[in-house]
């Protein structure tokens, strides 16, 4: 192995001298050249930027990928500069399991058809999540990593070089001071003082030049802030799009499940309850509010609900027991636990009442209501 012994010895000597100077400064035994206040403020601002960028980056990674093993895998692939294989999201995997289960239970069965409906929407949610993760990685995480691994490394390198130049300057100042003290005692030739002054001028020039380079780099932190601000806006927009998609899919899923439940309920009611009024009184007396047995697959029906099969006069308050989506403009959508006003009109189907909520009016199914006295 070929190396320059003199250069190695010289570098070791410089390192040792700087270490001595640094130690004496920490112990208060040597003077330290202070940086320009503006430069000190830039350094403090840069350190703050670096620290918070690291924290935000780490926490965003945890938010987007809670699995530590998956994060480690992504880190390794990134360091190897290889593309990470496309990973199936948990939502997509859940949807796939539901679809496979439906094929075993039978797609024509109520449970199987529901599994298919929910499974399809879970896969849509999983796909939306995967697109959100990819967008966030490109638009937000990558720029933050680029700053920490690119610009910040350059700044750190120049700052270390500035610190070395400062130590060299202070070493030269100390040497000149000792030389002048020795000259005053006539123990040192003037040539040694001239040499010390020359070394000081060179060290001062190098320090000033390095301070200017470092200052220019640190002033670029303002541009970094602007870039990160745009990245934050892109990240928030991607989040808004993702959550809007999730809300849309879940609303559609609820409507699909509601339609299926209404269809099944209507089939059971027509098959098991041809005469609700006679069925109510044929079952014997019940105390107010107690549940009346329903056909298999029906929602539980209270006595108050059964009694509404008999036409009521005037208006009454009713509590909604289940969510209901209107099928057309003549019906009124309902939300569980809300209170509405109901009444009947001559010739109206006994299974329905007219419901009012503020300025909204429409037909509502009796089986979804509990009449209040």
d(CA 306, CA 308): 5
Q: How far is CA 142 from the centre of its chain?
A: 15
Residue 345 is predicted with a pLDDT of: 86
Q: What is the mean pLDDT of residues 23-48?
A: 90
* Alpha-carbon separation of residue 142 from 138, 150, 171, 353 (angstroms): 6, 11, 43, 59
| Band of pLDDT at residue 184, cut at 50, 70 and 90 | low
| Band of pLDDT at residue 94, cut at 50, 70 and 90 | very high
Residue 56 is predicted with a pLDDT of: 96
Burial class (CB in 10 A: 0-12, 13-18, 19+), 178: middle
Task: Lowest mean pLDDT of 82-91, 145-154, 203-212, 327-336, name the range.
Answer: 82-91
Give the range with max mean pLDDT: 23-32, 61-70, 214-223.
214-223
H or E element at residue 44: helix 37-64
Q: Are 158 and 213 in contact (CB under 8 A)?
A: yes
Q: Which residues contact 97 (CB under 8 A, 6 or more apart)?
A: 119
Q: In a 3-state reduction of DSSP, which class is residue 33?
A: coil
Q: In a 3-state reduction of DSSP, which class is residue 369?
A: strand
Please calculate the CA angle 12-16-20 and round it to the nearest 5 degrees: 170
d(CA 239, CA 60): 12
Q: Are 295 and 310 in contact (CB under 8 A)?
A: no
Nearest to 179 by CA among 199, 165, 203: 199
pLDDT tops 70 at residue 251: yes
User: In 10 A of CB 202, how many CB atoms?
Assistant: 13
Q: What is the mean pLDDT of residues 67-85?
A: 63
Q: How far is CA 38 from the centre of its chain?
A: 36
Residue 316 phi, psi (nearest 5)? -140, 160
d(CA 281, CA 309): 12
DSSP 255-287: HHHHHHHHHHHHHHHHHH-S-HHHHHHHT----
d(CA 271, CA 125): 37
- The residue ranges of DSSP E strands in the chain, in sequence order, are 291-292, 301-302, 316-320, 339-343, 352-357, 360-365, 369-372
| Band of pLDDT at residue 74, cut at 50, 70 and 90 | low
Q: In a 3-state reduction of DSSP, which class is residue 108?
A: coil
Q: What one-character DSSP code corresponds to residue 316?
A: E
pLDDT tops 60 at residue 305: no
Number of H helices, E strands in the chain: 11, 7
d(CA 181, CA 186): 9
Residue 98 is predicted with a pLDDT of: 95
- Mean pLDDT over each residue of the chain, to the nearest integer: 82
């Amino acid at each position: 192995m070929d190396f320059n012994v003199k250069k190695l010895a010289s570098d070791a000597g410089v390192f040792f001298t700087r270490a001595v100077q640094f130690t004496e400064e920490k112990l208060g035994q040597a003077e330290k050249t202070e940086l320009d206040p503006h430069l000190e403020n830039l350094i403090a601002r840069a350190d703050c930027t670096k620290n918070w960028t690291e924290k935000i980056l780490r926490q965003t990674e945890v938010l987007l990928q809670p699995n530590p093993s998956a994060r480690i895998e992504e880190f390794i692939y990134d360091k190897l500069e290889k593309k990470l294989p496309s990973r199936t999201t948990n939502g997509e995997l859940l949807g796939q399991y539901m679809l496979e289960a439906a094929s075993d239970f039978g797609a024509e069965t109520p449970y199987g058809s529901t599994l298919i409906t929910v499974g399809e929407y879970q896969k849509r949610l999983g796909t939306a999540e995967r697109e959100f993760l990819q967008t966030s990685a490109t638009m937000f995480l990558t720029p933050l990593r680029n700053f920490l691994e690119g610009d910040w490394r350059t700044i750190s390198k120049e700052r270390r070089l500035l610190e070395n130049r400062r130590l060299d300057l202070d070493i030269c100042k100390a040497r000149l001071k000792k030389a002048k003290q020795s000259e005053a005692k006539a123990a040192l030739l003037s040539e040694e003082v001239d040499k010390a002054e020359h070394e000081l001028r060179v060290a001062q020039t190098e320090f000033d030049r390095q301070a200017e380079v470092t200052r220019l780099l640190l002033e670029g932190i303002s541009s970094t802030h602007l870039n990160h601000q745009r990245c934050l806006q892109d990240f928030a927009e991607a989040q808004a799009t993702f959550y809007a998609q999730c809300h849309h899919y879940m609303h559609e899923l609820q409507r699909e499940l509601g339609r299926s439940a209404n269809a099944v309920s209507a089939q059971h009611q027509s098959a098991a309850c041809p005469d609700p009024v006679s069925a109510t009184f044929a079952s014997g007396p019940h105390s107010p509010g107690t549940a009346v047995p329903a056909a298999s697959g029906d929602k539980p029906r209270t006595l108050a609900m059964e009694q509404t099969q008999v036409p009521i006069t005037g208006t009454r308050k009713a509590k909604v027991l289940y969510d209901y989506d209107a099928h057309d403009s003549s019906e009124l959508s309902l939300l569980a636990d809300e209170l509405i006003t109901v009444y009947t009109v001559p010739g109206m189907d006994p299974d329905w009442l007219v419901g009012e909520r503020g300025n909204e009016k429409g037909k509502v199914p009796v089986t979804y209501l509990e009449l209040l006295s």
